A and B are shown apart, each in its own frame.
Chain A
Amino acid sequence: MSDPFGPDPWITLSRLTPARIGLGRAGAGLPTREVLAFSLAHARARDAVHAPFDAEAVGAAIQALGFETLEVASAAPDRATYLRRPDLGRALSPESLEALRARPKAPIDLAIVVADGLSSAAVHAQAAPLLGALKPLIDKAGWRTGPVVLAHQARVALGDAIGEALGVRAVVVLIGERPGLSSPDSLGAYLTFAPRVGRSDAERNCLSNIRPEGLVFEEAAFKLAWLAGEALRLGLTGVGLKDESDLARLPSSGALSLPGA
């Protein structure tokens, strides 16, 4: 065969990208199999947005790691309101705010919030395994975390309200990201030093695409612990804190070493 591509030249192209190329056509339209494959991917993404957050199951898995948990809700009463009113998703419900303020004050270095965000599927699949990878690093650093806060109908900035009510030094929000067609269950992690209501996104550091097919748990946990260590050491997050966690690795062994740990 002189043709380097074999019988279907598109197969070679398709290996170069996860994009939906080489689909073929039925006249001007897509072949049936591709229409249905697309519908399935969209259905999964839709379900990820609208599936209720199973805080009980996620909480049990997190408790099994040795964390306490507590539940809060944002001021958005339901999914339809949540999607239309991001401002309500950034504020605590009056009951949750009261409950957090009423807790006995205990010093917390790094509060952890697990938030449904735009993909409960992401939280169900990735939150506990990520915390499992993070726990040894937290223990090694000696950070006090307080209870892991499970938040319903939450946006990233709800972590500011939670952190402010608990009086914490820093907060990390693990939140379901807006689902993509090929990634319905990506978790994001947002770190904010000295959280308080009104912080801007430029004052946070972010890791995204945390899932087995993207940023894997061990890697995400290492980066997160590195960023948290630097945030607590420097007293800031955001544009002033660059992720240089790659430099903290020992190239020979691949072992992970944290600043000051």
Chain B
Amino acid sequence: MTYAQTTGTTRWVFPDLKTLMAKASPARSGDRLAGVAAGSAEEMVAARMRLADVPLRTFLDEPLIPYEEDDVTRLILDTHKAAVFAPIASLTVGDFRNFLLSEAATPETLTALAPGITPEMAAAVSKIMRNQDLILVARKCRVVTRFRNTIGLPGTMATRLQPNHPTDDPGGVIASTLDGLLYGAGDATIGINPASDSLAALGELVRLLDGLISRFSIPTQSCVLTHVTTSIELIERGAPVDLVFQSIAGTQAANASFGVTLPLLAEGLDAARGLGRGTVGDNVMYFETGQGAALSAGAHHGLDQQTVEARAYAVARAYSPLLVNTVVGFIGPEYLYDGKEIIRAGLEDHFCGKLLGAPMGCDVCYTNHAEADQDDMDTLLTLLATAGVTFVMGIPGADDIMLNYQSTSFHDALYVREVLGLKRAPEFEVWLERMRIAGQDGRLLPRRAGHPLLAAAVG
């Protein structure tokens, strides 16, 4: 079906729903690269005006990618809860925005509504929302997950401690990990991107982190970010795997480019749950996503990159993850050109993920060929923390020496805790206090030589 909108004397025609969505998207380089972006500022607003009048039900009747062609579309439609959707079934996209902002949309209402919302509905409404809308509504969404601690409680923000090393040197990994713990980071996970893909080396890293967590009874979980099939293999060989990682995207073809299928994700989930290593819950999956992944695999089906990204969260939520991370600025300026585009994308991803019920964190980051710097990261971090982001990265000095990009540092988390009064996961706060790393108020205590954690570096 075609969609038309008149502005002044101009009549704009959009041949189908996905084109309407794409042209309504706030500007970004990836949509221009794909050739789906609006041709002018006025066309963009005309598309938004028309999109605002589209009934939410349309997204169920007109799948953007055909049901027969794509298993993500099938997952979205087959798991959609019509009864939950019923109260908002008569709303248009514009009405939906008004509802989300209203006092009627309480945290409890939004949590209950999540299974009735499809990623296309979330993406559509985000396109007619300003940054402040994305922040206000996301802040009302509650997604709480558990493994060895409780993540996502109101007033908290967790950090993933990312102790990467260019050669996976155990001493180097431990040094960065201890540094992070002593700065109060690591409650979301201690998660390492390995340089190696050899099973033996990966098994060593899993055991290294498990040894540290066990030795000091740290209420957190480890993750070695390798392919789901590799994690399954590690589990079969008896490695103490806490979380199973996988990069995912919003189409079947894009997932195929990552070497994953939906049944394979279910296998990973079952394998990790089978170990029963969680003490307070069994959310065992850690997913990463990012706008542009589908286009870079030539698997976007003509959709704009933000809509495809939202579909990835529908994949994520089906496997009850502990953490979902949009690695927003990592992919480069051909998808998100500058600080403004990265900031917008980070807020959109967080909003869409939370609305769909995913425990959304964000790797607030950029590469050196993007028009961005640490000031832009400060801005996005502050906005996301205000929006109630589940977790952010903690990387020594914000400089990842293995993946060669800049993210947020241990210090950045301290900054945002200080400004907004955000706590860590409660179990982790108790541990920091017991270890005399932080005081009762969550602030770091003065550092001292001979701390037991430091002794571990040579022990």
Contacts and interface: CB of A to CB of B under 8 A. Distances in A.
A217 to B, nearest CB: 19
B411 A181 contact: no
Contacts of B415: 28-29
A178 B369 contact: yes
A3 B368 contact: no
Contacts of B451: 9
Interface in A26-63: 27-30, 34, 38-39, 41-42, 45-46, 48-49
Contacts of A3: 449-450
B94 interface: no
B449 A30 contact: no
A17 B174 CA distance: 9
A17 B169 contact: yes
Contacts of B183: 25
A178 B368 contact: yes
Interface string B352-384: 000000000000000111000110000000000
Interface in A156-204: 178-184
Interface residues of B, number: 49
Interface stretch (A67-75, A84-92, A232-240): A84-92
A207 to B, nearest CB: 15
Judged by DSSP, the binding face of A is loop
Interface string B387-417: 0000000001111010011100101001101
A19 B163 contact: yes
Given A34-B397, A38-B374, A84-B337, A49 B165 contact: no
A41 B397 CA distance: 12
A107 B417 CA distance: 65
Contacts of A5: 449-450, 454
A18 B401 contact: yes
Given A25-B411, A42-B368, A14 B175 contact: yes
A20 interface: yes
Contacts of B367: 178
B458 A4 contact: yes
A12 interface: yes
Interface in B159-187: 163-166, 169, 171-176, 178-179, 183
Instruction: List 7 tightest A-B contacts by C-beta distance, closest first.
Output: A20-B397, A180-B404, A17-B172, A28-B414, A21-B179, A16-B175, A45-B368
14 contacts: A8-B449, A12-B454, A18-B401, A19-B175, A19-B399, A19-B401, A20-B396, A21-B397, A22-B179, A23-B397, A46-B368, A118-B369, A180-B368, A180-B401
Interface of B: 29, 32-33, 163-166, 169, 171-176, 178-179, 183, 332-334, 337, 367-369, 373-374, 396-399, 401, 404-406, 409, 411, 414-415, 417-418, 444, 447, 449-451, 454-455, 457-458
Given A25-B411, A39-B374, A41-B399, 20 more contacts: A3-B450, A8-B449, A9-B449, A12-B454, A13-B178, A17-B175, A18-B172, A19-B179, A21-B397, A23-B411, A28-B415, A83-B334, A84-B337, A87-B33, A178-B369, A179-B404, A180-B404, A180-B405, A181-B401, A184-B368
